[in-house]
Structure 1
Amino acid sequence: MTVQRNLGSTIRRGAAWAAMAGLVATPGLAQQVPAPTIQAVPLAPPVQVVPFPVLSAAQAATLGQMIADAGYAHGLRHDADRPVIPQNNDALVRAALDFARAVHSGRLDISDFQQDWGLRPAPYDPLPGFADAVKRDRIAAWIRALPPPYAGYDTLQKGLARYRAIEADGGWSSVPAGPDLTIGATGARVAALRKRLAVEDDAVSEGTKFDADLLAAVKRAQGRYGLNPTGVVSTQTLGALNVPAADRVRQIMANMERWRWLPQELPAKRIQVNIADARLAVFEGDAPIASMKAVTGRPGNETPMLQSKIHSIVLNPPWNVPTSIATKELWPKGAAYLARNNYKVIGTGANKRLQQQPGPRSALGLYKFDFDNPYAVYLHDTPSQSTFASFSRLASHGCVRLEKPAALAQLLLRNDPAWQPEQIQAALAAGKTLRVPLQEQDKVSVYLLYWTAFANRDGVVSFRADPYGWDKTLAAKIENRSAITAVAAR
């Protein structure tokens, strides 16, 4: 339909232009504009609309089953209500192609993306592959090949089925608020805690006593929720346990959608930062070869999701302070504070800005890892090491602070004979700012991702808090877009 509308528009524009050129007799216009003697330019041939393939009865049944099940199994809708299956051939094909796009490269339309959701799925046209599958009668194989080819997606799909079953069975009851629970506690709240934990942990039994077995179960739960595994059930642990099962389902839905935004093949050499978990991992192939804690953006200063490539490392970097930070946080502290912390005022008047000079007090520390992006964020060192001891490490203005930047720099420069550890240390000791370009083969892809739900091979899901509120927003957008496309496909 879009092609036909565009084609009609093109023909109308062409006719109008031809009329103005005197090539077409238009009432009232020929008398006003005499026909000039020019060479006529032929109109472009009409766009050929590729017809949809005609399905056999068996193929139509297979696609109908996919449409009925895929949206639920792949987290494209929350409710279990099955969609209406079109009976008309072309309507059924349109519905199948819509589901294929959603499962392969994401449910969202480009207009649904927030500015700081910098990941975008590659364009995907399912029609050629679908038409070939119909021709060769391999629709089932085509359907199996649609989802992202990653174990992380597959395990989340298993987790989705598990948490959907929990929700369908009534979910879980909240553990009442009260004093901290720890070993030795007894009573109704301990019984409620046991009942709640048992929904996700088969090893937990009923009872009213907080014993060593329950202590171990609480620590396991705290580990799954990214909390400090103290074994003490305090406010933070209660908050994680009391998130409704329906919200956990939507959280998994949101994370499955983010998997669909990734390319079909990730670079073998890459760095991944989980923004929500505040951790960095270095990959070579499918396995991480190094990892470290990170500090990511606090709510209000969100670290964006993005994909880029690290092209250089700055040693002894200065910090060009963003105007917003300088205005809100630094100028009010006065000249003495700025001088004491090695800030330099550059420019005058409205163009005045702050730059913190390199040194041990620099907010960027000794290393800065640069990659192109529209958000002006990067990975960097920090003199504030105490934050890495915390389990909650969302504290930056949006950039990613690293626990072990020296190790990462040495890893990225290991193949450059001019920048071995001794040369790096000598340059740092000299105190001058130096930009070290990575050799072409050593430039490494970097992904800043927002994973708040991930599962192991058994479908046991670990959750993280949704500090930016992106999960609820994304899940709502998925369901809204599914509803819109379901109507449009009929």
Structure 2
Amino acid sequence: MSQRSGVPTSAGDAAPTLRSLANTPELQRFYERVGWRLVWNEAASRALEDVIARRADHGLDRLPFLPSIEAGETPIARDVALTRAALRYARALATGVVDPATLHAVYTLPRPDIDVVAGLASALDRGELTSWLAGLAPQDADYRQLSEAYRAAVAEQQRDSGGAPRIAAAGLIRPGDQDDRVPAIAKQLAAEGYLLTPGSTAPVRPAPSRLYTSDIADAVRALQRDYGLAEDGVVGPRTIEVLNLSPADRARAIAVALERLRWLARNPPATRIDVNIAAARLAYYRDGMLVDSRKVIVGKPGRETPLLSSPIYRLVANPTWTIPKSIENTELAHVGPDYLASHNMVRRGGYIVQQPGPDNALGMVKFDMINDQAIYLHDTSAPGLFERSQRHLSHGCVRVEDALGFAQLLAEDEGVADRWQAASGSGAQTFVPLPVRIPVRLLYQNAFVDETGRVTVRTDPYDWNGPVARALGFDDGAHTRTQADAIDIGP
């Protein structure tokens, strides 16, 4: 007997049956690694049960992992069943329940590289199953905070099992209006922490008044801002849709967010740019510290910005824009020479090209990236669109707020500020290579920890949560897909 495992170490009579029952390549590789012997003693079995019992920490509580072991089941069959369960749970923690490549036509974000077969064999041999499993999920502060928020949402859902009455979407409510729905709106805003007692963090106890006051309107604006809606304080159908999101909807969104974090490699580059497509925000990290955050405009539904890992390798001052055939054959299919001339466009080599200048759709700077999707960051000739709360408006590329300021920041950090200034002032398209490529991750997180340290749940603009949620054992929940909005022909 092994002192660590407490089960026979030799293959003996177990090997033939193990070879028969270990009917997947993963199980075969595991038992080959341990010498075709039984590995699950009472202590290890109990440790696995205890760890899986806490799977709500990862939003996995709707999935069964442990097998149903019958009283008459043989020790060999029980051993294989426990190994299968342990490997499945380990994979869920290490790389996620779902392979994102099966959900997205384009997914190039680095995945975790964790050999759960070798890890499980080693953990069982050392008697360290609990600590090994605990170390497989992301260990960062954001994951931990989302985990806490998920458990809180589940607890709230259990307390509110009957569900609050839905607020009817029947006409607009503006400040100063009298409406029968106002008490329910105020109650929901207070419950979600938007309507607080002055000078306190405690929610107010709204009076049953029909008056839509300025205080309630301010709380609605804060809600709208968090959910990426028009921040006007007017209660319309989209705001009602958000107010009607239940604790179950919130739990579902956070569970999906936890799953998406498990898809990502555990050690992202310390210097990088992360674009959260769902929230239409950019974050720039330098040596592991967040040094800049700003709004972006990303792809509209039907022209979704893909999930990419792609570095910026140069800045382009005063860029030209070669219009893709997909736009030329749709939005520009019927334009004539007058339109081209008025928009500083010419035909060149079979393509329409927009010349440099302030009216160029790319603005005054392009951040060239390496990928086969023609996706990049750039400036815009329509900066007013950044004032919108809902910024899923482009043809797939990422427009950056104050892109010239951001380019200057990158140029200074990379030691090419003088070259950038000269290129920018030249008026001609000029390329400024970066000495070191800056990794960019295009992510999709509609539940995340915002800059104030609070877990925020936004709408699901591309309606991408559904397949992930179903794989985690949730129903479809509320749908808050963004409506496509034709704004301009820019990329």
1:435 corresponds, among 401, 425, 431, to 431
Change in CA separation of 1:341 and 1:182 when aligned onto 2, cut-off 3 Å = closer
Change in CA separation of 1:358 and 1:219 when aligned onto 2, cut-off 3 Å = closer
Give the secondary-structure state (helix, strand or coil) at the position aligned to 1:288.
strand
Partner residue, 1:93 = 83
Q: Are 1:126 and 2:152 an aligned pair?
A: no
Change in CA separation of 1:51 and 1:252 when aligned onto 2, cut-off 3 Å = farther
Q: Are 1:67 and 2:69 an aligned pair?
A: no
Partner residue, 1:368 = 366
Paired residue total: 431
Structure 1 position 213, deviation (Å):
5.2
Partner residue, 2:307 = 305
Give the secondary-structure state (helix, strand or coil) at the position aligned to 1:331.
coil
2:329 corresponds, among 296, 305, 327, to 327
Say if 1:155 and 1:458, in contact at 8 Å, map to a contact too: no
What are the Cα deviations for residues 15-62 of structure 1, in whole angstroms up to 9, with x where unaligned?
xxxxxxxxxxxxxxxxxxxxxxxxxxxxxxxx8785476122121011
Amino acid at match of 1:449: L
Counterparts of residues 279-428 of structure 1 (less than 5 Å): 279-347=281-349, 352-414=350-412, 419-421=416-418, 423-428=419-424
Change in CA separation of 1:53 and 1:134 when aligned onto 2, cut-off 3 Å = farther
Say if 1:68 and 1:82, in contact at 8 Å, map to a contact too: no
Change in CA separation of 1:416 and 1:400 when aligned onto 2, cut-off 3 Å = closer
User: TM (normalized to structure 1)?
Assistant: 0.80
Give the secondary-structure state (helix, strand or coil) at the position aligned to 1:388.
helix
In 2, distance between residues paired with 1:239 and 1:311?
Answer: 42
Partner residue, 2:40 = 55
Change in CA separation of 1:266 and 1:86 when aligned onto 2, cut-off 3 Å = farther
Say if 1:172 and 1:199, in contact at 8 Å, map to a contact too: no
Give the secondary-structure state (helix, strand or coil) at the position aligned to 2:88.
helix
Change in CA separation of 1:135 and 1:188 when aligned onto 2, cut-off 3 Å = same
Say if 1:204 and 1:217, in contact at 8 Å, map to a contact too: no
Say if 2:100 and 2:107, in contact at 8 Å, map to a contact too: no
Change in CA separation of 1:315 and 1:458 when aligned onto 2, cut-off 3 Å = closer
Structure 1 position 283, deviation (Å):
0.9
Partner residue, 2:204 = 204
Change in CA separation of 1:117 and 1:167 when aligned onto 2, cut-off 3 Å = farther
Partner residue, 2:140 = 150
Report the more deviating stretch, 405-414 or 320-329: 405-414
Change in CA separation of 1:84 and 1:183 when aligned onto 2, cut-off 3 Å = farther
Change in CA separation of 1:50 and 1:339 when aligned onto 2, cut-off 3 Å = farther
Partner residue, 1:12 = none
In 2, distance between residues paired with 1:251 and 1:393?
Answer: 20
Report the more deviating stretch, 203-212 or 400-409: 203-212
In 1, distance between residues paired with 2:129 and 2:145?
Answer: 24
Change in CA separation of 1:458 and 1:325 when aligned onto 2, cut-off 3 Å = closer
Amino acid at match of 1:66: V
Give the secondary-structure state (helix, strand or coil) at the position aligned to 1:307.
coil
Max Rg structure: 1
Change in CA separation of 1:463 and 1:176 when aligned onto 2, cut-off 3 Å = same
Partner residue, 2:184 = 192
Gaps spanning 5+ residues in structure 1: where? Answer: 8-46, 481-490
Question: What RMSD over aligned residues (CA atoms) do the two structures have, in Å?
Answer: 2.9
Structure 1 position 452, deviation (Å):
0.4
Partner residue, 2:461 = 467
Change in CA separation of 1:78 and 1:249 when aligned onto 2, cut-off 3 Å = farther
Say if 1:315 and 1:433, in contact at 8 Å, map to a contact too: yes
What are the Cα deviations for residues 206-225 of structure 1, in whole angstroms up to 9, with x where unaligned?
42124565445434433432
Change in CA separation of 1:77 and 1:319 when aligned onto 2, cut-off 3 Å = farther
Structure 1 position 262, deviation (Å):
1.4
What are the Cα deviations for residues 264-291 of structure 1, in whole angstroms up to 9, with x where unaligned?
1111111111111111111124432112
Give the secondary-structure state (helix, strand or coil) at the position aligned to 1:414.
helix
Say if 1:191 and 1:208, in contact at 8 Å, map to a contact too: yes
In 1, distance between residues paired with 2:427 and 2:221?
Answer: 45
Partner residue, 1:266 = 268
Report the more deviating stretch, 395-404 or 335-344: 335-344
Structure 1 position 336, deviation (Å):
1.1
Say if 1:283 and 1:289, in contact at 8 Å, map to a contact too: yes
Change in CA separation of 1:381 and 1:414 when aligned onto 2, cut-off 3 Å = same
Say if 2:231 and 2:389, in contact at 8 Å, map to a contact too: no
Amino acid at match of 2:306: P
Amino acid at match of 1:74: H
What are the Cα deviations for residues 384-406 of structure 1, in whole angstroms up to 9, with x where unaligned?
11101111111110000111222
Say if 2:315 and 2:368, in contact at 8 Å, map to a contact too: yes
Give the secondary-structure state (helix, strand or coil) at the position aligned to 2:245.
coil
Structure 1 or 2: more helix by fraction: 1
Give the secondary-structure state (helix, strand or coil) at the position aligned to 2:169.
coil
Amino acid at match of 1:420: A
Say if 1:453 and 1:463, in contact at 8 Å, map to a contact too: yes
In 2, distance between residues paired with 1:227 and 1:140?
Answer: 43
Structure 1 position 83, deviation (Å):
5.4
Say if 1:181 and 1:234, in contact at 8 Å, map to a contact too: yes
Report the more deviating stretch, 391-400 or 232-241: 232-241
Say if 1:380 and 1:402, in contact at 8 Å, map to a contact too: yes
Change in CA separation of 1:459 and 1:205 when aligned onto 2, cut-off 3 Å = farther
Say if 1:369 and 1:380, in contact at 8 Å, map to a contact too: yes
In 2, distance between residues paired with 1:68 and 1:362?
Answer: 57
Say if 2:254 and 2:447, in contact at 8 Å, map to a contact too: yes
Partner residue, 2:481 = none
In 1, distance between residues paired with 2:156 and 2:131?
Answer: 30
Say if 1:321 and 1:354, in contact at 8 Å, map to a contact too: yes
Change in CA separation of 1:55 and 1:416 when aligned onto 2, cut-off 3 Å = closer
Give the secondary-structure state (helix, strand or coil) at the position aligned to 1:413.
helix
Amino acid at match of 2:368: D
Change in CA separation of 1:208 and 1:232 when aligned onto 2, cut-off 3 Å = farther
1:178 corresponds, among 170, 179, 185, to 170
Change in CA separation of 1:131 and 1:362 when aligned onto 2, cut-off 3 Å = same
Gaps spanning 5+ residues in structure 2: where? Answer: 1-22, 71-77, 194-201, 475-491
Say if 2:228 and 2:389, in contact at 8 Å, map to a contact too: yes
In 2, distance between residues paired with 1:238 and 1:301?
Answer: 27
Give the secondary-structure state (helix, strand or coil) at the position aligned to 1:370.
strand
Amino acid at match of 1:304: P
